[in-house]
Chains A and B, each alone.
Chain A
Amino acid sequence: MAVVSLSAQHLVKRYGGVVALADGNLDVKSGEVLALMGANGSGKSTLGKIITGAVVPDAGRLLLDGEGVSFSSPQAARRAGISAVYQELSLVPDMTVAENIWLANEPVALGRVRRKERKERTARLLSLFENALGPSVGPDSLISALSPSDRQIVEILKALSREPRVMILDEATASLGARQVERLFELVGEWKARGMALVFISHRMEEIFQISDRATVLLSGKTVGAANLKETSEEELVGLMIEGGVAERHIEHPAEAAVERTLLLETEDLRTSVLREVSLGLTEGEILGLGGLQGQGQAELLLALFGAVPHSGTIRFAGEEVRFSHPRQAMRKGLAFVPGDRGGEGLLSIRSILENLLLPSWSRYGMFLNIRQARRDSEEVSQGLRLKMGSLDLPVSSLSGGNAQKVVLGKWLMRDPKVLLLDDPTKGVDVGAKGEFYKILSDLRQRGVAILLHSSDDEELLGLCDRVLVMRDGVMRRELSGDDLNKSALVSASVGVASSPSDSPPSGGLASGGAA
């Protein structure tokens, strides 16, 4: 393999008013693994996507072997020898492993796909992960029959099958099992020795130290440092990631009053296909945060509480055991849920703002709907939320992200909810609207609403919540409150590092968390 070098210089990417990447820089060359690090939302993924051609930068240069390049599509980047491992994005579920790996890259002779050769080549690729894959995974297995971790391996092999010179592993280990990670790292060593350049994007500190040679750290869209990992400690890296990281309080807490607060929502040993033994309690007038890396079961927990996914275990609402098998039942009890995928799960994008606000509440307006009353109620709520809109009758898709999110929240506020479940509500919302949103949550908290808030933005959790529960791999790992509720404790608990001896995790949490 020829020597290769890739260099990104001062890359910038904006989405509307939001700057995803302000000054992205990195350098990587043959025979090394570069770790790209940063807290949630620091711009790592955007930088990775620019390199692989999925995103076109607004400014800055990309140099491959010293020459300026720009990729219009992932295919273009692939032809230049840069492959990325997507998270299941490129797999077709009802096709076999072999068909998927070689899709649009099939070995062909006389117009016919050489299935035998494709199968052999696939088997050779799969043998790289021998004993680390499910018992019956072979070239002819269907992707839909594979476990998520085995699918991820197939994605990795698919990227490898293009024989790239530069490979980007973006959170590629997130869904892998311990043995698979171990084997992947052995292979990374081999590829490195053969002259491949790798960029490794991960949250898991110990993995980064295990395979990376150097690290580039991003903070709020800027490259703030590069470090040789042989000479750097975990604590120093965490320090770089959170530099200046004193979170601003968004909610002034009234002095912890001696008032007895009622426990509104309680779970005991809640389990789903993703969650294990989740027990928590939520009291009125409290904002309880759900933290941790993305996709560790936070969304699943909220869905289970709202009756939208099958679950076992006990849920108590105001002391009474409840069993929700449909969101309608949860809604009637006074629960409300703002889903993480605003467009896909929270809104009726082509319908009017009015209809979106009223969707859960139509049955209140009589057999023949009293639209005038409904409109008055909607106006009241939208004014309370300070919704910026032309008219209630415009499609909700005409709103900005922040205002659209207010509509999702507003449809529940029309019902005066007692418990509010929020799944990353400020994702993709501009700074101004975020501030307003925090104010709304603060008001609701004052009024005694119990709020369970999952956020991918650590600052937000620290700034808003009374307590934060940190989840990893579907399990509650740590509860942070009082003085423990600080950035370094949150980041450390998320990535599975003990930040200081005093707040070590509950029994065995760390050890098993790192390996699972």
Chain B
Amino acid sequence: MSAARASVGLRLRRVALRQSYAFALLLLVITVAINYYLQPNFFQPGILSGNLLLFVPLMLVAAGQTVVVIGGGIDLSLGAIVSMANVVIVSLMGQESSPSQIVLALAAGFLAGTLAGALNGFCVAVLRFQPIVTTFATSFVFSGLALYVLPEPGGAMPLGLVNFFYTNPLGLPMVLWVAVIVLLLWSLLRSTRYGPYLYATGGRDLSAFVSGVPVSSVRFLSYCIAGLMAAFAALALALSTGTGNPIGGADLMLQSIVAVVLGGTRLSGGQGGVVGSIIGVVILSLIQSIVSFSGAPSSWQTLINGLIVVAALAGPGIVALLGRGRRA
């Protein structure tokens, strides 16, 4: 009897830590339900993907941020990397680009993002600088490089590519494809040795070190991955706006951290996953959609949005507090 209860407790604990997005799922259900109530045609593919398409860049940045956070770090420069990769891609392309030019531009953009991540990784993992201030400092460097490449918003993306971004391949919305591809890449990454190394490094670096995990390399690589993801986000941003913007990624950085935390990944590292962060991004978009369809006066919308986000962030803490109160 007591053994059975203990095993239920263990299982619950495992769910809470491993499927750390359990709370996020609950929020997702609630926000979907409210959206459906406010907007009965919510589930029509056009409406749904229209709502979410704007969030594709954030989804990609949040995925990269998640990898860094699991490894015990944080990256405040991802927004600037998005801007930089965005202008690199756009400035090497035009409306009439040939396929080879397109490939070259994309390669240059992805390389720029990865190298930027490598700089962060070098400072944090090898030189052992504090992640927060380091990535804040490098964000100036990347923003400066973005402005150097393209001082004013402008440029154009090949029409074919832009149009493709707004299609629904195989009848499924583009945003879903992006989410599925990100999740596939994530599960591939997790299935390599890098998966356990990353969690161990963020979870307890000393134990990882004693067990023989190359802790510095693991950290370094996590920043490179985040940089590359930011470059993918830059491409998505260029496609969704059709043009280049040297400060286009600025808002993504802080939002990506909120999405990661909403998705149940702990900022201190070693736990969580990309699945949760993607749910977190969807929740953010749904909250925004609730607020705008709620009929609240427009001047109240930001406040309501902010309060809901804080409430969502506080949720697990409140549950824990109530639990502690009951036991005492």
Contacts and interface: CB of A to CB of B under 8 A. Distances in A.
B303 to A, nearest CB: 36
B203 interface: yes
B53 to A, nearest CB: 33
Contacts of A91: 204, 207
How many A residues are at the interface, by size bracket?
20 to 34
A142 B203 contact: no
A144 interface: yes
B13 A103 contact: no
A9 interface: no
Interface stretch (B30-38, B124-132, B209-217, B237-245): B209-217
A94 B198 CA distance: 12
B26 interface: no
A145 B18 CA distance: 12
A103 B196 contact: yes
Interface stretch (A108-116, A434-442, A452-460): A108-116
B17 A105 contact: no
Interface in A93-112: 93-95, 99, 102-106, 108, 111-112
Nearest to B14: A142
A135 B14 contact: no
A75 B212 contact: yes
Interface stretch (B2-10, B226-234, B287-295): B2-10
Interface string B11-54: 10110011000000000000000000000000000000000000
A86 B205 CA distance: 16
Contacts of B212: 75, 78, 103-105
A104 B13 CA distance: 25
B199 to A, nearest CB: 6
A79 to B, nearest CB: 10
A103 B200 contact: yes
A145 B10 CA distance: 6
Contact of B204 (A74, A92, A134, A142): A92
Contacts of B248: none
Interface in A220-272: none
A95 B14 contact: no
Contact of A103 (B7, B18, B211, B271): B211
A108 B193 contact: yes
Interface string A122-146: 0000000000001110001110110
Contacts of B11: 136
Given A74-B210, A103-B213, A136-B7, A113 B196 contact: yes
Nearest to B195: A113
Interface in A42-101: 74-75, 78, 86, 89-95, 99
A109 to B, nearest CB: 11
Contacts of B213: 103-104
Given A89-B207, A95-B203, A142 B195 contact: no
Contacts of B14: 140-142, 145
A92 B17 contact: no
Given A94-B203, A142-B17, A103 B10 contact: no
B196 A111 contact: no
A140 B193 CA distance: 17
A108 B7 CA distance: 31
B211 A145 contact: no
Interface in B66-117: none
A135 B193 contact: no
Given A99-B196, A113-B191, A90 B207 contact: yes
A457 to B, nearest CB: 28
Contacts of A104: 197, 208, 211-213
B192 interface: yes
A99 B271 CA distance: 13
Contacts of B264: none
Nearest to B9: A145
B270 interface: yes
Nearest to A98: B196
Residue from the set A93, A94, A115 with the largest chain B CB neighbour count within 10 Å = A94
A112 B192 contact: yes
A89 B211 CA distance: 9
Nearest to B3: A135
A290 B271 CA distance: 40
B193 A95 contact: no
Nearest to A146: B10
Contacts of A103: 196-197, 200, 208, 211-213
Contacts of B192: 111-113
Contacts of A111: 192-193
B193 to A, nearest CB: 5
A448 B211 CA distance: 51
B196 A90 contact: no
Nearest to B272: A94
Residue from the set A75, A90, A99, A102 with the largest chain B CB neighbour count within 10 Å = A90
Residue from the set A92, A93, A141 with the largest chain B CB neighbour count within 10 Å = A92
A289 B195 CA distance: 49
A411 B138 CA distance: 44
Contacts of B197: 103-104
Contacts of A78: 212
Contacts of A113: 191-193, 195-196
Contact of B193 (A86, A106, A136): A106
A136 to B, nearest CB: 4
A90 B200 CA distance: 10
A217 B7 CA distance: 44
Interface of B: 3, 6-7, 10-11, 13-14, 17-18, 191-193, 195-197, 199-200, 203-204, 206-208, 210-213, 270-271
Given A95-B200, A141-B10, A144-B17, 4 more contacts: A92-B204, A105-B211, A106-B193, A135-B3
Which 10 pairs of residues, A with B, have the shortest CB-CB distance? A104-B212, A136-B7, A92-B203, A103-B211, A135-B3, A112-B191, A92-B200, A92-B204, A90-B210, A94-B271
16 contacts: A74-B210, A78-B212, A89-B207, A92-B200, A92-B203, A94-B271, A99-B200, A102-B196, A103-B213, A105-B211, A105-B212, A108-B193, A136-B10, A136-B11, A140-B14, A145-B10
